[in-house]
Structure 1
């Protein structure tokens, strides 16, 4: 009887640390735990960080069908080639909102696996969007632009597209409808509830993996100035080479944070949906899954320029230009020209 564990993320729940641990210990997992970790891309090359998001294609404009699995039949075959039970981890599964896409994936997996287990970690919606939106400021990419925009704020202005991702009940219930509720494991990403307080220990405990050590690697957030300027550069569609030069001079202290009221309002939009998710999947004993402590936020928004902070950012941007040498201008010009050819 062959089993596969599909870890679907979600984003900003320690996925980077988990994937790196699984990759670093893949030989030990195979030899001592009878578990294989899937680490190859669509061209059969090894992915050294363990993130197999390359198997999920992200579209740019069709929200409901925003992501699709690249050649699900080929993916299933590649997964089946591995000995023992298998783990695949790709947080981009969180972008799949089309149930038909999941049905096609299950159909292919079922040809080779007797049991398919879906594992997902969820985070209270306000904390999730603050962290995820900050992360997306680092680089201009779909689907983040289409979902969130590039406003230089802690939380983007609400639009209905956000519901596809942040309505956990609707999104995760699609997986339950396809793979069966008993095969869905939902864990709350919170130090107070995770086994030993971190996702790596929690995941290993779920799968009864023993004697695995790892150093937790954090996907470090940008500071106040760097985040705001990065959002603005994304809104302009600025080239990555120019972004890199400017980013080197930006201050990275502080953090963009919404006000307590803004955070609560975003969370309240999905509170009843969380209740329905808990009623269906019996995640924990809290009625709405998450605690409702908002003390981490202040009464006022911490994402607005002051005269001093705006002037400092302008100086840092101008300094980036001032530091460029003639050869740098030449290189940037050549890169820009080559992209047009």
Structure 2
């Protein structure tokens, strides 16, 4: 085992800073390579050239093999689908040429898989000593962030109170979710981290570097921004109303809605310092003061945490040795 490449498979979960980590791994790829850590090019989809690469193509290849539906736009092209057959082999070739001893792969869509898919992942990585890196987030905060994201990208226009009744992703039942990975890879090979300020060591990137046993150098943390930061809650309110209008009244196609929402996100970004953006945000702030329809109520947060309480306690006890069952610290201090 000691002669095997150590491969860190980062699987998310969603809304735990995955894009920020992938941005870091992409822009610092050459520096990490010099330290013996490979972030492979094989299997990646370049969502933002030179800025953010994710190994979604490896995940899609497994979904394709298992006949699991894929929503990625290029999947509709037969020529692109045909490349999936060799994607894992391309990864193996790149790893074999790597002179270092460590490899990092990252795609949060790996968290979609149940037992059959996880077994296929292990089969494809059988020549490596695999460690599964997982970040989890307090479920009420996950829902608020997930809702904001869906509104932000233009695919949801209803209020948040209806949103939380419509779906319960399997991966936020963290204990059950981890059990599947544990059965295949073993508990000793799961590196579990909590996406919570109080529990991240030296911020998200510093925490991730510790998780993959990278000797931290503070120079690596310079000039790295968080990706996917949300607009203000007033802007989310505006975008929800806008989505509702264009989805229910104007019947615009999804690609057109995406382009419109992308322009809106740029205009409503907190980082956009232009005068027109500041003016636009100030107007929105005045017009949309009532944000109750896009923010979870205190009681909803309590109810959500109650639903997951037993599940979370098991994770705290079995993975962190916390006999009091406290997985998330913030909820205890409210």
Task: Please confirm whether the aligned pair reaches a TM-score higher than 0.5, indicating the same fold.
Answer: yes
Q: Is the 8 A contact 1:134 1:154 kept in 2?
A: no
Residue of 202, 205, 210 corresponding to 1:205: 210
Shift of residue 163 of structure 1? Answer: 4.6
Find 1:123's aligned residue among 137, 141, 145: 137
Alignment counterpart, residue 151 of structure 1, candidates 158, 166, 186:
158
Cα deviation digits, residues 310-332 of structure 1 (max 9, x gap): xxxxxxxxxxxxxxxxxxxxxxx
In structure 2, the CA distance between the partners of 1:265 and 1:134, relative to structure 1 (3 Å rule), is same
* 1:39 maps to which of 38, 41, 45: 41
Match of 1:95 in 2: 112
* CA shift digits 1:157-196 (9 cap, x unpaired): 424x515132111112111111110000110111111111
Q: Report the Cα distance in structure 2 between the residues aligned to 1:156 and 1:270, rounded to whole angstroms.
A: 17
Runs of at least 5 residues in structure 1 that lack an aligned partner in the other structure:
142-148, 297-341
Offset of residue 282 of structure 1: 2.5
Tell me which residue corresponds to 1:55.
Answer: 58
Aligned-CA RMSD value: 3.6
Q: What is the CA distance between 1:135 and its match in structure 2?
A: 0.5
Secondary structure in 1 matching 2:229? coil
Partner SS state of residue 217, structure 1: coil
The answer for the alignment partner of 2:74 in structure 1 is none
CA distance in 1, matches of 2:131, 2:69: 23
Cα shift readout 1:129-160 (whole Å, capped 9, x = no counterpart): 1101210223356xxxxxxx75222661424x
Change over 3 Å in CA distance of 1:195–1:284 after alignment to 2: farther
- The total of aligned residue pairs comes to 280
User: Quick check: 198-207 or 253-262, which moved more?
Assistant: 253-262
Q: Which residue of the partner structure matches residue 224 of structure 1?
A: 236
Q: Is 1:289 paired with 2:327?
A: yes
SS of the residue corresponding to residue 200 of structure 1 reads helix
Of residues 149, 152, 168, the one that matches 1:138 is: 152
Q: 1:230: Cα distance to partner?
A: 5.1
**1:274 is the counterpart of 2:281:** no
Q: Give, in whole Å, the separation in 2 of the partners of 1:219 and 1:37.
A: 21
67 and 165 in structure 1: CA distance in 2 versus 1, 3 angstrom threshold? farther
Map of 2:274 onto structure 1: none
Deviation at 1:52?
2.0
1:47 offset after TM fit, Å?
5.9
- What is the rounded CA distance, in whole Å, between the counterparts of 1:273 and 1:101 in structure 2? 23
Quick one: distance in 2 between partners of 1:205 and 1:162? 31
C-alpha distance 41-21 of structure 1, shift in aligned 2 (>3 A): same
Contact conserved, 1:150 with 1:234, CA < 8 A, in 2?
Answer: no
Change (3 A) 1:56 1:47: farther
The aligned counterpart of 1:144 is none
**Is the Cα contact below 8 Å between 1:72 and 1:104 reproduced in 2?**
no
* Partners of 1:282 and 1:203 in 2: CA distance: 17
CA contact (8 A) 1:137 1:234 kept: no
Residue in 2 that maps onto 1:304: none
Secondary structure class of the residue paired with 2:104 = strand
Q: How much has 1:73 moved relative to structure 2?
A: 7.3
Q: What is aligned with 1:21?
A: 24
Distance 2:112 2:205 in 1: 23
Specify every segment of 5 or more residues in structure 2 that has no aligned partner in the other structure, as ranges: 72-80, 268-279
Structure number with the bigger relative contact order (C-alpha 8 A, sep ≥ 6) is 2
Which structure shows the bigger proportion of residues in helix conformation?
2
Distance 1:7 1:208, change over 3 A: same
TM-score scaled by structure 1?
Answer: 0.70
What is the CA–CA distance in structure 2 between the aligned matches of 1:151 and 1:29, rounded to whole Å?
43
The equivalent residue for 2:90 is 78
Measure, in 2, the Cα distance between the counterparts of 1:155 and 1:283. 36
Q: For 1:100 and 1:204, how far apart are their aligned partners in 2?
A: 30
Alpha-carbon contact 2:22-2:106 (below 8 Å) kept: yes
Query: Residues 116 and 134 from structure 1, CA distance in 2 versus in 1: closer, same or farther, beyond 3 angstroms?
Result: same
Aligned twin of 2:270: none
- Give the TM-score, by structure 2 length: 0.71
